[in-house]
Amino acid sequence: GFTEDEVRDICDRYGRDFSQVERWYDGYMLGDCHVYNPRAVVNYMLQGDLKSYWSETGSYDVIVPLINLDFDGLKTAIIQMLSGGEIKVNTGSFMNDTVSFKNKDDVLTYLVHLGYLGFDQKKSCAFIPNEEIRQELTTAVESTRWKELITFENESLFLLDATLDMENDIVAKMIGQIHDEYASGIQYNNENSLSSVLTIAYLGAMNYYFKPVRELPTGRGFADFVYIPKPEFAIDYPAMVVELKWNKTAKTAINQIREKQYMKSIEQYTGNILLVGISYDKKTKKHQCIIEEYMKK
């Protein structure tokens, strides 16, 4: 594969936007080194089309039966990764063959070997490395006609619409509903678990937004989630800065976004920006949401 420095040089030579190439074709890691799919990079340089070139080389027919295997937690894990999240994977039980799958970890490990998932060795986490692969996996999942996914996508799109319409109570209710119906295996005990559920809940946003950026350095701190719209949707869809609070109020989350100026570093990417504060109260077992609009000066 190409290294990041090599891709930067190629982009300069062909006059292409490196940040776009990074979103679409980066994501694989060898130690601390970013590795890019060379076929995709070369095709983009020559053709100028940001699209998936993976299907010409990938083992598409292999993954459809894999993701249909009825292992506990597999479908939830795939939905979470499609939404931009990471999944802990135990790679030790994989027997290095294509028959002896015993659990979801074996399936996910094989998908890492095929290149459909990236793997962070330090965290032992699998993830979808870039937009190219996310589109390929989405197509594979949709071809299986999962009833669960079709229903869930509709609910997730409803949640996104409610967020964009700044319907605080509906958003809070929907996040709780999605946790109960699709992510009940994720035990609520801290902000990390809340962030995992939120990642799943906003799967529908992936049609219009890039993979959410976690812990983006912004202003005077790190925002929990930042959703930046894809260029073709930037006029109609605002960026979203999301802050989560565990056992605190949503107002506390909004205040933190404003006080630490989390929105400053993304002003150049978008039009308007929504500030979204989401909290969970472990006593009442209820979510709370406050959404405010930030108008650029």
pLDDT digits (tens, 9 = 90+) for 102-133: 899 999 999 998 888 999 888 899 999 888 88
**Two structure tokens written together for 127:** 């993830």
Confidence at 167, pLDDT banded by 50, 70, 90:
very high
Q: How far apart are CA 203 and CA 252, in angstroms?
A: 25
What's the pLDDT score for residue 184? 64
Q: Report the range of poorest mean pLDDT among 118-127, 130-139, 178-187.
A: 178-187
What's the pLDDT score for residue 12? 95
> Directed axis angle between helix 74-82 and helix 191-201, to 10°?
80
pLDDT digits (tens, 9 = 90+) for 220-266: 666 788 898 988 888 899 999 999 888 899 999 999 989 888 888 78
* Amino acid at position 131, single letter: E
Give pTM, 2 decimals: 0.76
Cα–Cα separations (whole angstroms), residue 201 to 84, 93, 125, 246: 11, 30, 20, 17
Catalogue all structural domains in the chain, each as residue range(s) with its CATH number.
2-51 (no CATH), 56-143 (1.10.10), 147-294 (no CATH)
Q: How far apart are CA 175 and CA 210, in angstroms?
A: 20
